[in-house]
Amino acid sequence: MATAFEFQLYPLGPTVLAGLLAWPANQAGEVARVYRDLAFDSPDELGSALVMVAGPPEEFVPEHLRGVTIAGLAMLWAGDPNEGQDFVKPFVDLDPDANLVMPMPYTDFQAMIDEPPGCGTTGAPTTTTTSRRGSRCLREVRH
């Protein structure tokens, strides 16, 4: 049983370098190797997650990646957005089919993985889904 919780807040933003990069699943091995080599030694300012997920049927996803398995990399640089470009470059050099990494308000990035009302069982954010209900919810996300 926890009887106390201590935490420290750090300044963030309001603008961060963040977003999503996406590749067809057949490039996942190469993307994962670069991710492995860079993520382990990355500075504290870089937060990231590499996932395999079904490409959602959204305008920001190229049509050939919609409804098929893609390698997706969500990333956030918590420092100066200009300094973060050096950490994005190795992934951009892999020629992603979608590159949505750009300076944006932190709150916009934070909301990118929020579930629309009624789509989750716990109300917690999620980045992947395999259910038909989850696919419906991805279509309902408003950007």
Mean pLDDT across 28-44: 91
Mean pLDDT across 84-95: 94
Q: Which residue has the higher pLDDT, 113 or 76?
A: 76
* Helix ranges (DSSP H) in the chain: 28-39, 81-92, 106-111, 132-140
Model confidence at 128: pLDDT above 60: no
Please give the mean pLDDT across all residues of the chain. Answer: 81
Q: What is the pLDDT of residue 123?
A: 39
The token duo for 123 is 């109300």
| The CATH fold of domain 15-105 | Vanillyl-alcohol Oxidase; Chain A, domain 3 (3.40.462)
Provide the 8-state DSSP code for 131. S
**Among candidate residues 114, 119, 85, the one with its CA nearest the CA of residue 99:** 85
CB 25, CB 52: distance < 8 Å: yes
Distance in Å from the first CA to the final CA of the chain: 40
Return the beta strands (E) in the chain as ranges: 15-24, 46-54, 69-77, 98-99, 102-105
Neighbours of 25 (CB within 10 A): 15
Residue 3 neighbours by CB under 8 Å, 6+ apart: none
Per-residue pLDDT band for 115 (boundaries 50, 70, 90) equals low
What backbone torsions phi and psi does residue 112 show, to the nearest 5 degrees?
Answer: -60, -30
Give the strand pairing for 69-77 and 15-24.
antiparallel
